[in-house]
């Protein structure tokens, strides 16, 4: 299927399902279409092993590769989506599964969730998108064993969590993203056994996030480990490995005897004045590190990992 023209009024699509149940869309190749697969009021539909490629260069004139609106029990498995606005888009879609898809080189998001609850996405690859995944205004989302790789740019992140609650983020890899996780209004999430490696910022957790548990993760060679915009901390950090930690383990239980503070003063400065990043690795930053030890009140006193791991976990 190819060359379905642009239509904002009709939202033209190569394949469109409306008020369908138990439909199967499988083994299709879709090229240069405004929307690839569009499911509206679908139930128990399966979208499997499709390749959907676009060549859009402008987000405003692009459609989504897989677009689902008001659905239940959808299964999106083993698809490849490239070159669209969003690789996969969910709005008001509940009790559904997104698994083993490759979503790359999309203009906005690899995957975009809004107002969708009780969904699972697992074993997906989100690479080289404008931003990796956005989960917004949703609850009970399970995000496991995904890869968020090289979502890089001035406003890019691997995963945006905005106004979501009661979810799990486990066994994911965040590698070479501008910001690996950006969280605003995210509450009661469990984040464990994730790998954050070579990101600009591993976690940017805003002050309106609370009751989240960040435990047993690897933070390896990130420029900034945790950034926040508040002096208080309403989340729990424990048993994480931080490659910048330089404490000691006298009782040899595998955990540092001194708690670790992952927020540093220079991270706070660059969060407020992004242009200050050009000073990174300069003597000025070293002076700030010294000042931070003398005047620790400039960083959140309660944002600590009370049991920092001495060596990285082997999750895989």
* Inside any domain, residue 176: no
Q: Is the pLDDT of residue 164 over 70?
A: yes
* Inside any domain, residue 52: yes
Q: Is the pLDDT of residue 316 over 90?
A: no
Q: Is the pLDDT of residue 187 over 90?
A: yes
For tokens 């070293």, the residue is 286
* Inside any domain, residue 121: yes
pLDDT in tens, 32-53: 889 999 999 999 999 999 999 9
pLDDT in tens, 202-247: 999 999 999 999 999 999 999 999 999 888 889 999 999 999 998 9
Determine the angle formed by the axes of helices 265-272 and 283-294, rounding to 10 degrees.
120
Q: Sign of the C-alpha dihedral, residues 8, 10, 11, 12?
A: negative
* Inside any domain, residue 166: no
Residue 59 domain boundaries: 1-129
* Inside any domain, residue 301: no
Question: What average pLDDT does range 280-292 have in this prediction?
Answer: 57
Q: What stretches of the chain show up as alpha helix (H) in DSSP?
A: 265-272, 283-294
Q: Residue 191 — very low, low, confident or very high, per pLDDT cuts 50/70/90?
A: very high
* Inside any domain, residue 243: no
* Inside any domain, residue 276: no
Count of domains for the chain: 1
pLDDT in tens, 36-95: 999 999 999 999 999 999 988 888 788 999 999 999 999 999 999 999 999 999 999 999
Mean residue pLDDT of the chain comes to: 89
* pLDDT value, residue 109: 95
* Inside any domain, residue 98: yes
């Amino acid at each position: 299927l190819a060359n379905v023209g642009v239509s904002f009024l009709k939202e033209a699509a190569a394949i469109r399902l409306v008020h369908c149940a138990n439909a199967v869309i499988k083994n299709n190749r879709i090229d240069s279409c405004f929307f690839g697969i569009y499911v509206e009021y679908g139930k128990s539909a399966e979208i499997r092993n499709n390749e959907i490629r676009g060549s859009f260069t402008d987000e405003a004139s692009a459609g989504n590769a897989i677009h689902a609106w008001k659905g239940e029990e959808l299964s999106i498995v083993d698809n490849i989506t490239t070159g669209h606005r969003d690789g996969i888009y969910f709005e008001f879609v509940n009790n559904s599964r997104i698994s083993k898809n490759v979503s790359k080189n999309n203009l906005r998001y690899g995957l975009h969730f809004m107002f969708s609850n009780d969904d699972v996405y697992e074993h997906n690859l989100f690479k080289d998108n404008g931003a990796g995944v956005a989960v917004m205004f949703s609850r009970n989302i399970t995000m496991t064993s995904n890869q968020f790789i090289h979502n890089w740019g001035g406003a890019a992140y691997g995963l945006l969590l905005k106004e979501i609650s009661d979810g799990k983020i486990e066994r994911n890899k965040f590698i070479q993203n501008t910001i690996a996780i950006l969280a605003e209004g995210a509450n009661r999430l469990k984040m464990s056994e994730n790998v954050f490696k070579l990101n600009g910022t591993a976690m940017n957790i805003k002050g309106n996030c609370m009751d989240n548990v960040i435990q047993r993760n690897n933070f390896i060679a990130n420029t900034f480990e945790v950034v926040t915009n508040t002096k208080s901390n309403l989340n729990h950090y424990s048993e994480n490995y931080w490659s910048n930690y330089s404490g000691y383990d006298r009782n040899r239980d595998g955990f540092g005897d001194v708690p670790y503070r992952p927020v540093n003063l220079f991270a706070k400065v660059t969060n407020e004045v992004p242009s200050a990043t050009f000073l990174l690795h300069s003597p000025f930053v070293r002076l700030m590190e010294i000042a931070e030890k003398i005047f620790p009140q400039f960083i959140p006193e309660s944002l600590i990992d009370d049991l920092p791991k001495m060596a990285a976990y082997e999750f895989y």
